[in-house]
Amino acid sequence: MIITGIVLGQEPEATVNEVKVTAPKFAGIENATAILNGVKSETINEYLLKNFEYSGHQFFDGTVVVQLTVTPSGELTDFAIINSVSRQIDQEMIRVLKNTEGMWIPGYSNNAPVEMTKEVSIAFYPDGNSSKSVTEIFTEKATRYFNNGNRILFEKDNPKKAMKFFCKGINYMPYDKSLLLLRGICRFETGDKAGALQDWERLNSLGGFDFENSYLTDNMKELKSYNELLGIFTE
């Protein structure tokens, strides 16, 4: 099985409304002071790939995403699975991340340590002989599911069936905005307003969606969820 580590949402420094914000940083087993002094240390990717253990006989493919909170003292709390691959893989991911307790430098706001959330992901794919990278394979799979779901939703007017395809696409590319947008629409159209809001709020946290320039917008205007959707992204 190929296991590819990806850490997302780790911009080292940002300035928002004159407030200087620095995201939490994994320091590794070495003393965190070394990181502060610019000494290169093991990355969270390297740590996860080295310490992740999978003993199952059944192979799963997809991208597991775990959210955690780094406290001002560098402790880890509030582990949550954002995108699941399998129960065993999810639990092992959290186990390894919990073992990184004490290996994090907290996030800072105006030079003061503050509590911040972080997301870490790993892509799983059964080891084959493909010449393509896991990223290429997952992109192709997700694109195929997106196109099928898009056709079933807008041409066949079957949001319940379309949602299954969008869910499969998100399994491979959990940060894809179009997949999250359309799964939320399917959830809303089938009566799951809470699930729709969950997808759309996550989409908003990833930077929102460009309705003016999206080829999907004209099709979405005919759906009962469209006004609700616009309300979220124009607040």
Residue with tokens 């041409």: 155
Among 85, 108, 125, identify where a domain stops. 125
- What is the structure's pLDDT at 218? 87
pLDDT for the residue 129: 67
Over the chain (235 residues), the average pLDDT of each successive run of 10 is 48 49 79 54 82 83 94 95 94 95 91 93 79 89 96 95 98 95 95 94 90 85 82 71
* Residue 31 confidence (pLDDT): 52
Same domain? For 81 and 112 the reply is yes
> Considering 91, 125, 159, which residue would you say is the last residue of a domain?
125
How many structural domains comprise the chain?
2
Q: What is the DSSP string of 164-197?
A: HHHHHHHHH-TT-HHHHHHHHHHHHHTT-HHHHH
Domain that includes residue 170, residue range: 134-233
The pLDDT of residue 85: 93
Report pLDDT for 54.
83
Q: What pLDDT is recorded for position 42?
A: 75
**What per-residue confidence (pLDDT) applies to 190?**
95
Q: What is the rounded CA–CA span in Å between residue 101 and residue 84?
A: 22
- Statement to judge: residues 98 and 33 lie in one domain: yes
**Alpha carbons 76 and 83: distance in angstroms, whole number:** 19
Q: What is the CATH number of the domain that holds 157?
A: 1.25.40.10
